[in-house]
Structure 1
């Protein structure tokens, strides 16, 4: 089984550097690391070029024409050569056991939602200035301490509805590439921020893939930032509601239209 780590980013190389630093400290290094870049400037290219000499990093870039995350993710998966994909955002610092925890949880017929701990604004600023990548539930400035606890042996205590797409976040998500391809990946009809993760998860579930949620394992530390524009929130929500109502599992345009 081979693993690709998919990291989405846009014009925040300072955060991406911490993410890549944390990848280099993993107890299990992924076979492939793909940067899905939604139009960042030259600073990100320079950073990725540097890390490509240290880690198996590839840079997939598209022109900046606004928020087009689903499109760049589909392009990145087209370049993916692994059986299993772990997707994170470019502002998620990884616990050193992150990849190993996801590997341990991988199971045919399931996709996996990992755990996200939120760094407060001051702690985030300190991490960015000091290049700090180690955190724990006891770190001063940790907002969601419970989510920062790593204790994999207790993961079984927490149950989740395997048929619910509620609260699925692409910032820490893992899936089999063949499942992704079968449902045609992310739907490129979304405009702006919002609901693309839920809708993608709903189609996985409608296709017969169940959700598994990890607690006390696969922890990602989210660097604080201002919220993205919610201007297209409701139109995107309507797409998700249609997928739920009609039990849609395949949408176009998506992965196949990009991969062709």
Structure 2
């Protein structure tokens, strides 16, 4: 695997997004393009994107729609429509990538599979210092890291502890990879899931129901999530019900998804 698109979701946190893109530009292997799925950020996010476009390292597409509340599913579908490459590595704009992140994902890519990665966390008390120093170089032993085991990169042993299973559980879009054709086949994200909660698991479950196996990776594909307050969980119970029905009925497509997302 040589070519991929890096898909980054973001919303109104340009300071974190800046460090995220900085870590992308330091990758041992760069993606062929970056597609930013922007759920209605203000002009400061666009300014960050322009700054990195001027580096001429990686083409960057900025897919934006009006801020009408949490509509991540819709903007992700719109962004995937603009993806140029067959393989998509998906992250959030509030993570810092280990310098081998893209290369690791390309190594573990496999047909008829999607990848679920894990993440370590940057503690709340370290965030201010990180922003002041523009720190993007983290290791498992770095100060301010939580869930350190998830930050251990050990490629020789990754194959032993990584596993495959037909389950969409515990999938997070902040560290996920898939084939665009598989995404399109299940009609992408469910646009009816508005607000926070389980949109990634719901997509992953339909992929599994369509015969695409989940490949959970350890000791590779490492990222560090920047602490922030939790989003509103107001609609989580509604999303739980949708996810339950997708599992129970073995649904392989959503009715309102990728095909219904107009740019």
> What TM-score, normalized by structure 2, do the two folds share?
0.96
| Contact 2:162/2:218 (<8 A) preserved | no
4+ residue segments displaced more than 6 Å: none
Q: Distance in 2 between matches of 1:161 and 1:103?
A: 17
- Specify the alignment match of 1:200 in structure 2: 203
* CA RMSD of superposed structures (Å): 1.1
| Contact 2:73/2:194 (<8 A) preserved | no
Q: Distance in 2 between matches of 1:11 and 1:60?
A: 14
- Specify the alignment match of 1:128 in structure 2: 131
Determine which of 66, 80, 85 is the counterpart of 1:63.
Answer: 66
Give ranges in structure 2 of 5+ residues lacking alignment. Answer: none
In structure 2, do the counterparts of structure 1 residues 159 and 29 end up closer, same or farther at CA, with 3 Å as the change threshold?
closer
- 1:222 equivalent to 2:228? Answer no
- Specify the alignment match of 2:47 in structure 1: 46
| Contact 1:84/1:174 (<8 A) preserved | yes
Q: Deviations over 1:34-57 (max 9, x none)?
A: 110000001001111111122311
Q: Distance in 2 between matches of 1:250 and 1:227?
A: 29
Aligned residue pairs total 260
Deviation at 1:124, TM superposition (A): 2.1
- Specify the alignment match of 1:13 in structure 2: 14
Q: Distance in 1 between matches of 2:76 and 2:208?
A: 19
Q: Distance in 1 between matches of 2:190 and 2:216?
A: 23
Q: Distance in 1 between matches of 2:251 and 2:48?
A: 39
Map 1:87-102 → 2, pairs under 5 A? 87-102=90-105
Map 1:153-172 → 2, pairs under 5 A? 153-160=156-163, 162-172=165-175
| Contact 1:115/1:216 (<8 A) preserved | no
Map 1:241-252 → 2, pairs under 5 A? 241-252=244-255
